[in-house]
Amino acid sequence: MKRLLILPFLVLSFVSFAQSEKTLLDFNDEKISETEFKRVYLKNNSGEIVSKSTVDEYLDLYINFKLKVKEALSLGMDKDPSFVSELKGYRSQLAQPYLSENNMLEALKKEAYERLKWEIKASHILVNCGPKESPADTLVAYKKILEYRKMALSKGFDKVAKEYSDDPSAKENGGELGYFTAFYMVYPFESAAYETKVGEISMPIRTRFGYHLVKVEDKRPANGSITVAHILISTDPELASSDDAEAKAKEVYNLIQEDIPFEELAKQFSDDKRTADQGGLLPAFSVGRMIKEFEDAAFALEKNGDVSKPIKSKYGWHIIKRIEKEELGTYESLSKELESKVKKDSRSNLTEGAALKKIQKTYGFTENIKERNDFYKLIDTSYFGSNWDKKRFSKLNKVMFEIGDRKVNQTDFSNYLNEIQTNKSPIDAQIFINDAYTTFKKNQIMAFKDSKLESEYPEFKALIQEYHDGILLFNLTDKLVWSKAVEDTTGLEAFYEQHKENYKWGKRADAVIFSAANEKIANETKKLLKAGKDLEEVINEINKTSQLNLKKESKKYEKGENEMLDQVEWKKGYSKNIDNQGRVSFVWIVEVLEPTYKTLEDSKGIITSDYQEYLEQEWIKALRAKYKYTVNQEVLEQLKKELN
């Protein structure tokens, strides 16, 4: 998180400014012009009211940043292997937009958007056939799937799926997949489903799993996405018996009908601990994302605020409240999300292919087929074993292809093959070498384009510099401030002792806050506690007939921490009963605690944060003493007038 806060601050110059530029900051070995600082300032303060004080404050932060980066460089942190590796990873991500074909990307985004308007219900039959199968085995699989198609047309799709499909679940469901929309299935399968008419069976389509037949059962307008909250009463034997769970779910549902807030009941009773604290709220979902029983019940709710009766799933009993239902957004509003999904999906191979063609056309590409074929002849199944002779290609050094001014020869390809060689089960040697060469060629073409990015795109060069300095700044700040404050226990303790007055508890109450189903239960609880019964025993006794009878929470509270506690007088003993949204609450104050110093453990988080701030300020003082710099006050005052 700290790194994310640092990086937006950093913006470095795209190009060196001419000598005529007015210098605002002079670090001896680096000069920052007025124009450069102005651009940095405006980018990071867009929408804010500009004043002389904000310019001064930002200049102060900017100087601190430059000094910290100088210190990191002086320590050689830019040579650290972990830094080099991390920057390389970021560069790889940032380079992607420059290495893809935008026209194809846009077409795929629009295709996906049109498909998202519809939900398809389909079934399939699968014949296993992996991508590395030999041509002979692939042909066998293809003939088999064609035969199954003939049978499905005459005997019925589900019967053939149950008897012959290689998808294990088909024996039970006849190949049925339910409803889905774009991005739920691998791209070739998705395309077959959307391009086949309802009631018809597709021709065989190939995916990485094998050959499929797709029968489209239904096509309907998309339901959009829905946001719901739920209360789960688990049927896990460790939590409750099946009958008890059903009874409890019905009790909770009845309380909802009595206008007890759904969110409060979720917090009290839901066994889904991931969502209970948020009132049972789940992230928005569309068809195909949830188990069928839950999905059907959720989408059946007609209005926001509607609540389902308890419904059963393999997890237990759910009570579902509809919060919001959203239709598909506009193409413009979903553009970035669509782009992200396309790039992560197998359809991104189409954009990669288009990008390769564009790069070859832009820079020029020639391929020497003879040299490629000569190489192919030397590969056989011995490549897949421990007896492979890596010197087999040693005499091959002719150029295989050229991209721009780069020549890629047979030695480059042989080195690649030797790098990826492992002992594994043999596959068809010619299939392997063709796939390997295709991958190698693609990688070389992309690497060539990648090597040109900094020289051809100044904004890319600047962005990489931004990340370079940002990572250095983070690493050094972590070392000298954040991690040091956590690990330096002696320094932290000394800081705490010096600033102890800043860390005090106010007046507190050690209290138990009860919520009872009614007045009678509240009074009975007080009676048992006053008689000296153990708290947990009392709760168990009161809740024998229903887990909804009595709830409690307890800790040491300060004023303002708990609404119920703030309504009663702070003295030892039991408060009067208080109406609380259909239930009855009361407070048992075990002890009233006078103001006292917090221990280091009590407030370690805030004390550590303050210590980090102290360490950073001391570090900045040291940097300003170590590195000399000057600010041209005349230029600064002129800049303030321009910005004001």
The secondary structure of 300-349, three-state, reads HCCCCCCECCCEEECCEEEEEEEEEEECCCCHHHHHHHHHHHHHHCCCHH
Q: Both 61 and 202 in a single domain?
A: no
Measured CA to CA, the distance from residue 35 to residue 22 in angstroms comes to 8
Asked if residue 351 is part of any domain, the answer here is no
H-state helical runs in 545-603: none
What is the DSSP code (8-state) at residue 482? I
Tens digit of each residue's pLDDT (9 = 90 or more) over 85-144? 999 999 999 998 898 888 888 999 999 999 999 999 999 999 999 888 888 889 999 999
Residue 14 has pLDDT above 70, yes or no: no
Amino acid at 48: E
What is the DSSP code (8-state) at residue 19? T
User: Which residue bears the tokens 């904004």?
Assistant: 459
Q: Both 194 and 126 in a single domain?
A: yes
- Split into its structural domains, the chain has a count of 5
Average pLDDT of the segment spanning 298-308: 95
Cβ-contact 211, 145 below 8 angstroms:
yes
Q: Both 422 and 474 in a single domain?
A: no
Other beta carbons within 10 Å of 434: 14
Residue 50 has pLDDT above 80, yes or no: no
Measured CA to CA, the distance from residue 345 to residue 186 in angstroms comes to 8
Q: Both 448 and 461 in a single domain?
A: no
Q: Both 611 and 475 in a single domain?
A: yes
Q: Both 209 and 251 in a single domain?
A: no
Measured CA to CA, the distance from residue 474 to residue 465 in angstroms comes to 14
Residue 3 has pLDDT above 70, yes or no: no
Asked if residue 349 is part of any domain, the answer here is no
Asked if residue 12 is part of any domain, the answer here is yes
SS3 517: coil
> Which domain does 638 fall in, by range?
1-74+457-497+601-644
H/E segment holding residue 26: strand 23-26
Residue 551 has pLDDT above 60, yes or no: yes
Structure tokens at 599: 């221990």
Measured CA to CA, the distance from residue 299 to residue 315 in angstroms comes to 19
Q: What is the CATH number of the domain that holds 197?
A: 3.10.50.40
Measured CA to CA, the distance from residue 69 to residue 80 in angstroms comes to 15
What is the DSSP code (8-state) at residue 381? G
Residues in the chain: 644
Residue 51's pLDDT band (cuts 50, 70, 90):
low
Cβ-contact 349, 330 below 8 angstroms:
no
User: Which residue bears the tokens 């395309």?
Assistant: 191
pLDDT for res 28: 85
Amino acid at 366: T
pLDDT for res 392: 82
Q: Please report, for residues 490, 499, 597, 598, the alpha-carbon distance to residue 601 in angstroms, rounded to integers and kept in the order given.
A: 14, 15, 11, 8
Asked if residue 110 is part of any domain, the answer here is no
Measured CA to CA, the distance from residue 2 to residue 471 in angstroms comes to 11
Amino acid at 165: S
Measured CA to CA, the distance from residue 543 to residue 517 in angstroms comes to 10
Asked if residue 68 is part of any domain, the answer here is yes
Cβ-contact 33, 23 below 8 angstroms:
yes
Q: Both 526 and 576 in a single domain?
A: yes
Structure tokens at 88: 């390389």
Amino acid at 309: K
pLDDT for res 217: 96
Query: Ramachandran region of residue 28, left (φ > 0), alpha (ψ -120 to 50) or beta?
Result: left
Residue 438 has pLDDT above 70, yes or no: yes
Q: Please report, for residues 509, 513, 532, 561, 591, the alpha-carbon distance to residue 555 in angstroms, rounded to integers and kept in the order given.
A: 8, 9, 20, 11, 11
Mean pLDDT of the chain: 90
Q: Both 490 and 610 in a single domain?
A: yes
Cβ-contact 355, 101 below 8 angstroms:
yes
Asked if residue 31 is part of any domain, the answer here is yes
pLDDT for res 634: 94
- What lies within 8 Å, CB to CB, of 31 at 6+ separation is 23, 25
Q: Both 191 and 170 in a single domain?
A: yes
The residue with greater pLDDT, 401 or 423, is 401
Q: Which of 51-65, 80-94, 299-313, 316-330 has the lowest mean pLDDT?
A: 51-65
Measured CA to CA, the distance from residue 18 to residue 32 in angstroms comes to 11
Q: Residue 72's closest CA among 639, 473, 376, 595?
A: 473
Average pLDDT of the segment spanning 318-328: 95
Q: Please report, for residues 139, 195, 218, 374, the alpha-carbon distance to residue 165 in angstroms, rounded to integers and kept in the order given.
A: 17, 22, 21, 42
Residue 9 has pLDDT above 50, yes or no: no
Asked if residue 103 is part of any domain, the answer here is no
DSSP string, 100-168: S-HHHHHHHHHHHHHHHTEEEEEEEEEEE--TT--HHHHHHHHHHHHHHHHHHHHH-HHHHHHHH-SST
Domain boundary residue, one of 597, 614, 635: 597
Q: What strands lie across the sheet with 23-26, from one edge to the other?
A: 31-33, 23-26, 630-631
pLDDT for res 336: 93
Q: Both 482 and 557 in a single domain?
A: no
Structure tokens at 160: 């053939």
Average pLDDT of the segment spanning 73-95: 96
What is the DSSP code (8-state) at residue 389? -
Domain boundary residue, one of 201, 221, 241: 221
What is the DSSP code (8-state) at residue 20? T
Q: Both 242 and 301 in a single domain?
A: yes
pLDDT for res 337: 94
Predicted model pTM = 0.62
Tens digit of each residue's pLDDT (9 = 90 or more) over 590-600? 999 999 999 99
Tens digit of each residue's pLDDT (9 = 90 or more) over 352-375? 889 999 999 999 999 999 999 988
Domain boundary residue, one of 326, 342, 372: 326
Asked if residue 192 is part of any domain, the answer here is yes
- What lies within 8 Å, CB to CB, of 379 at 6+ separation is 417, 429, 430, 432, 433
> Burial level of 119, CB count in 10 A (0-12/13-18/19+)?
buried
Structure tokens at 625: 């003493």
Q: Both 593 and 606 in a single domain?
A: no
Tens digit of each residue's pLDDT (9 = 90 or more) over 504-519? 999 999 999 999 999 9
